[in-house]
């Protein structure tokens, strides 16, 4: 593919503070922007991979920034930009995802550049999909939301959703949501409890089901549900083993509590 002149200029000048490089033309009208990042249980990443593969989304742009680690990302053996934007004109959706963290001092620059570009291509609404870290297996797989004032009444109509009364969303997800408050783009977050330290497909299942309901995406989650059940069984077995080891080694003093609620 022929490299655009603007991209050549960026390469010559070195990594900018933040810049979106569009590599394909987009035929979309007020597309929905999905933001999926690797936090608790890498829920956002699992959601992103599932939607990109099932819908057949193509990479249409990427973000370059000096605030990203100098690292290469390979997907199916192919070198990819670490911060990618996918698109699907027929579904009228865009999806942004990355495998790498962004330096704290660069969050504003990256989120601003992304939303500036999103506004140029007509985005009016963006949703962040994220996990809330918990220890062990979540006892309740709720989907919570935090939204701008005008979006709350619409989301409350869905009985699967519960309003998150108070909290802080940090990182690139929080920066994007903060920036939407200053723009004509409406932003909100869909959040679910997720296993903190290992991939948690069950959390991704809950978020995709809600997306299907709100936007009629028809994303199949049967494969994710099967994987989630396998992980649940392994986690429960591990919890029992740890509990048994603690019981055998403790001869006096207060009893240990179970690892997972």
Residue-wise pLDDT tens digits, 117-150: 999 999 999 999 998 888 777 777 789 999 998 9
- What does the DSSP assignment read for 185-203? SEEEEEEEEEESSS--HHH
What is the reported pTM?
0.81
Q: Which residues on neighbouring strands pair with residue 135, listed in sequence order?
A: none
Determine the Cα–Cα distance for residues 193 and 92; give it in Å rounded to an integer. Answer: 29
DSSP 232: H
pLDDT, tens digit (0-9, with 9 covering 90-100), for 62-95: 999 999 888 778 877 888 888 999 999 889 999 9
Determine the Cα–Cα distance for residues 2 and 6; give it in Å rounded to an integer. Answer: 12
**Where do the domains of the chain lie, and which CATH numbers do they carry?**
5-220 (3.40.50.10900)
CB 61 within 8 A of CB 21: yes
Pairing state between β 186-195 and 125-134: parallel
């Amino acid at each position: 593919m022929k490299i655009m002149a603007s991209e050549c200029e960026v390469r010559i000048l070195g990594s900018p503070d933040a810049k979106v490089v569009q590599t394909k033309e987009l035929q979309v009208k007020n597309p929905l922007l999905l933001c999926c990042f690797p936090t608790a249980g890498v829920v956002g990443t699992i959601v992103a991979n599932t939607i990109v593969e099932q819908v057949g989304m193509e990479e249409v742009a990427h973000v370059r920034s000096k605030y990203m680690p100098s690292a290469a990302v390979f997907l199916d053996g192919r070198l990819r930009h670490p911060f990618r934007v996918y698109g699907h004109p027929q579904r009228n959706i865009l999806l942004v995802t990355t495998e790498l963290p962004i330096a704290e001092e660069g969050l504003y620059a990256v989120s601003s550049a992304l939303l500036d570009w999103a506004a140029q291509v007509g985005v009016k609404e963006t949703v962040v999909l994220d996990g809330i870290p918990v220890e062990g297996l979540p006892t309740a797989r709720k989907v919570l939301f935090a939204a701008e004032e005008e979006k709350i009444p619409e989301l409350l109509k869905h009985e699967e959703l519960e309003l998150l009364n108070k909290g802080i969303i940090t990182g690139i997800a929080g920066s994007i949501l903060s920036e939407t408050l200053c723009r004509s783009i409406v932003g909100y977050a869909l959040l679910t409890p997720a296993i903190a330290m290992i991939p948690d497909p069950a959390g991704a299942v809950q978020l995709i089901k809600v997306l299907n309901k709100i936007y009629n995406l028809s994303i199949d989650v049967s494969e994710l549900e099967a994987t989630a059940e396998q992980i649940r069984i392994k986690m429960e077995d591990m919890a029992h083993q740890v509990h048994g080891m603690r019981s055998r080694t403790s001869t006096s003093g207060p009893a240990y509590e179970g690892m997972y609620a």
